[in-house]
Chains A and B, each alone.
Chain A
Amino acid sequence: MTDTTATPRRLPNRLDNPFKSTVLSWEGLLVLVAVAIFILNSFASPYFLNEWSLSDMTFNFTEKALIALAMALLIISGEIDLSVAAIIALASTLMGWALQFGADTPVLVAIGVGTGIACGAFNGFLVTGLKLPSIVVTIGTMSLFRGISFIILGDQSFKGYPPSFSWFGQGYVWWVISFELVLFLVCAAVYFVLLQRTNFGRRVYAIGNNDVAAEFSGVRVARTKFVLFCLTGLMSGMAAVLLTARLGSTRPSIAEGWELEAITMVVLGGVSILGGAGTIVGVVLAALIMGLVTFGLGLLNVPGIVMSIFIGALLILVIALPILWRMWRQRTAVRSA
């Protein structure tokens, strides 16, 4: 008895092994997975290890990843936006519509990005202003935004974007480094600083963990969430510019299903779907992994819809495995105790 009080219980020291904790963190795991898929890809196809192939690979994920950056913040704050792909469709349609009136590149970009912000603000107003659940609101706006595209376009398409506009989706800044990739890296850096180095970012985490407590500690919950919806809209607008420029045409079905892929990137990146936890580094790594997986499957001639099975399975597995692992460890811990 006296022994236990004399020698205080030793606390495990978690600080002296930075290597172990880095590898065991979610981000460390993602790096390992990315490297493994990279190696698998280079074995699977002789065309993979080539600077132009790798450059093409980045086009697979940059546009979706741009949205995922903002979506990560939104999900960390405890909300979700299912309308991002529909925002792309609407922004792209309005750009194509403006093109019919002879709008030039700066105007087109302004319309694309502006539409994105406006749609995001609309979502934000419905969720924060009218206090509605974001899942239903964005399911509603998802069919509203894409529905407007269908009204404008029907079964037609807009074509004939000017070359100076196409550069946004097809141009290279230097050597094999595309404009899309540069834009994505810049945005990733901005979002990293915003989420992990500013007061705003801390507030986002606080809201996601307990928005009532955050409100009582002086965080303007509604305004912060509104800004996050606008940011998600902005990123969707930018993605619309890039995608429209890359494809060179607009149909109402453009970017169908992208909301799922953006959310998968966010969740795969270690962001808790219940809010309150997650990092930008994880999301960027997850985007890279999804780009590698889809590009590798593409090199193996796997059709897009079969790839979507992999993405769906990946989404569920990534969330299920840590839970199963925890359950298994608890069970063995109980047994050994």
Chain B
Amino acid sequence: MKALGKHREIWLGLAILLLLVIVTARFPRFAQPQNLLTIFNDTSILMMLALGQMLVILTRSIDLSMAANLALTGMIVAMTNAAFPGVPVPLLMAMCVVIGAGLGAFNGVLVWKLSIPPIVVTLGTLTIYRGLVFVISNGAWVNAAQMSSDFINLQRTVFLGLPLLSWFAIVAAVLFWLLMTRTPLGRSFYAIGVNPTASVYTGINVGRTKFMAFTIAGAMAGLCGYLWVSRYVIASTEVASGYELTIIAACVIGGVSIAGGIGTVGGVLLGAIFLGVINNALPVINISPFWQMAISGSAILLAVVLNARGEKRKGRIILKKAEAV
């Protein structure tokens, strides 16, 4: 059991392979390289969001507002594009990152300065952000006809055999890996998740680190706001509704402990790919897409049961109350 906890990425990789083998046994075309690349591209947005969420969960917090942040930023950028088609897309993307980071920072400030529990903060901002989408758009949609062709096509541009969307995910994964393993900030995310009290004594500002996690997660959600809207070529109030749970599911399946301090970039990527493979396999093996929700729910439960077995550590519970300040 201990080995399973240590080599979770390997086990998860095997589970994904098994899944691929089962589906491919019945539908040989499923495992063709081109289809696998499509699945990767389909999962890119989820991977990027899950990486952001990972930082937050590592610090013993949770961000339920990411999907609403994505929808709000997506709506703002789509409306900007519809109103001023001349604005270059890279500038719009930078705008998305800034807006998203701002929305994330708002969560972060409430958690840092006012010490409000993250789940309450983000439940609140989830409804506020989602409501604001309706307010700024007046409930209307921005559709393909209103978007400029650059806006729609940028992420579809193929570079070295892969669409840019996939490259975004790859670059994000590399940057996150560097952040988590090579920078003091990355290490402090782990440190305050494992033991906030000890982190204070080592000179880490716990609140500020949480703030950074929320801000980075928000920036990812903002960037994904553009990617989502231009990928599905629609911006509406309902965009990515309920997706916050899928993001958390990818993290939990990827081995991120909800109690904080445990989780890796590789695990999260595999967790997202696992969900991506399932979602792409369902229509292939002729199961109604209405099964998706129940399947990801079961996957979360299964993963959290397995996680708990892998990370059982006695003695931590007694310290918990003292650290909860």
Of all chain A residues, which has the CB nearest B246?
A143
Are A312 and B125 closer than 8 Å at their CB atoms? yes
Are B131 and A305 closer than 8 Å at their CB atoms? yes
If A135-B258, A147-B294 touch, does A273 touch B131 (CB 8 Å cutoff)?
no
Alpha-carbon distance between A264 and B124 when the two chains are bound, in angstroms: 9
Number of interface residues of A (CB under 8 A): 48
If A136-B252, A140-B304 touch, does A320 touch B298 (CB 8 Å cutoff)?
no
A302 to chain B, nearest CB (A): 11
> Does A324 reach chain B (CB closer than 8 Å)?
yes
Which of B114, B115, B305 is most buried by chain A, counting CB atoms within 10 A of its CB?
B114
A50 to chain B, nearest CB (A): 29
Residues of A within 8 A of B258 (CB): 133, 135-136
Residues of A within 8 A of B308 (CB): 130-132
Are A309 and B131 closer than 8 Å at their CB atoms? yes
> Does B8 reach chain A (CB closer than 8 Å)?
no
Number of A-B contacts (CB under 8 A): 139
Which of B110, B127, B139, B305 is most buried by chain A, counting CB atoms within 10 A of its CB?
B127
Alpha-carbon distance between A100 and B301 when the two chains are bound, in angstroms: 31
Are A316 and B110 closer than 8 Å at their CB atoms? yes
User: Which listed residue, A126, A137, A143, touches B245 by the CB 8 Å rule?
Assistant: A143
Residues of A within 8 A of B318 (CB): 212
> Does B292 reach chain A (CB closer than 8 Å)?
yes
Scan residues 180-209 of chain A and give those whose CB is less than 8 A from a CB of chain B.
none
Alpha-carbon distance between A131 and B316 when the two chains are bound, in angstroms: 13
Are A151 and B294 closer than 8 Å at their CB atoms? yes
Mask for B120-135, Cβ within 8 A of A = 1, else 0? Answer: 1101111110111011
> Does B88 reach chain A (CB closer than 8 Å)?
no
Scan residues 122-148 of chain A and give those whose CB is less than 8 A from a CB of chain B.
126, 130-133, 135-137, 139-148
> Does B182 reach chain A (CB closer than 8 Å)?
no
Alpha-carbon distance between A198 and B304 when the two chains are bound, in angstroms: 35
B313 to chain A, nearest CB (A): 12
Alpha-carbon distance between A309 and B125 when the two chains are bound, in angstroms: 8
Are A312 and B304 closer than 8 Å at their CB atoms? no
User: Which listed residue, A80, A147, A260, A274, touches B293 by the CB 8 Å rule?
Assistant: A147
> Does B237 reach chain A (CB closer than 8 Å)?
yes
Alpha-carbon distance between A267 and B300 when the two chains are bound, in angstroms: 27
Alpha-carbon distance between A83 and B224 when the two chains are bound, in angstroms: 27
Scan residues 26-63 of chain A and give those whose CB is less than 8 A from a CB of chain B.
none
Chain B contact residues, majority secondary structure? helix
Are B110 and A309 closer than 8 Å at their CB atoms? no
Are A144 and B128 closer than 8 Å at their CB atoms? no
Of all chain B residues, which has the CB nearest A133?
B258
> Does B21 reach chain A (CB closer than 8 Å)?
no
> Does A97 reach chain B (CB closer than 8 Å)?
no
Residues of B within 8 A of A316 (CB): 110, 116, 120-121, 124-125, 128
Mask for B288-321, Cβ within 8 A of A = 1, else 0? Answer: 1011111111101100110010000000011001
Are B293 and A324 closer than 8 Å at their CB atoms? no
Which of A132, A136, A147, A313 is most buried by chain B, counting CB atoms within 10 A of its CB?
A136
Are B294 and A136 closer than 8 Å at their CB atoms? no
Are B296 and A143 closer than 8 Å at their CB atoms? yes
Residues of A within 8 A of B249 (CB): 139-140, 143
Are A144 and B116 closer than 8 Å at their CB atoms? no
Which of A210, A316, A319 is most buried by chain B, counting CB atoms within 10 A of its CB?
A316
Residues of A within 8 A of B125 (CB): 312, 316
> Does A25 reach chain B (CB closer than 8 Å)?
no
Are A315 and B120 closer than 8 Å at their CB atoms? yes
Alpha-carbon distance between A57 and B14 when the two chains are bound, in angstroms: 55
Scan residues 257-305 of chain A and give those whose CB is less than 8 A from a CB of chain B.
257, 260, 263-264, 267, 273-274, 303, 305
B-to-A contact residues, CB < 8 Å: 62, 110, 114-117, 119-121, 123-128, 130-132, 134-135, 139, 237, 245, 248-249, 252, 258-259, 288, 290-298, 300-301, 304-305, 308, 317-318, 321, 324
Besides A137-B304, A140-B249, 14 new A-B residue pairs in contact (Cβ under 8 A), listed by A number: A80-B119, A132-B304, A139-B300, A140-B300, A144-B298, A147-B293, A147-B295, A273-B120, A308-B130, A312-B123, A312-B127, A313-B124, A316-B110, A316-B120
Sample of 27 A–B contacts (CB below 8 Å): A126-B301, A132-B308, A133-B259, A136-B252, A136-B300, A137-B301, A139-B248, A140-B249, A143-B245, A143-B294, A143-B297, A144-B293, A144-B298, A147-B294, A150-B291, A155-B290, A212-B318, A260-B123, A260-B126, A305-B237, A309-B128, A315-B123, A316-B116, A316-B124, A320-B110, A320-B116, A323-B115
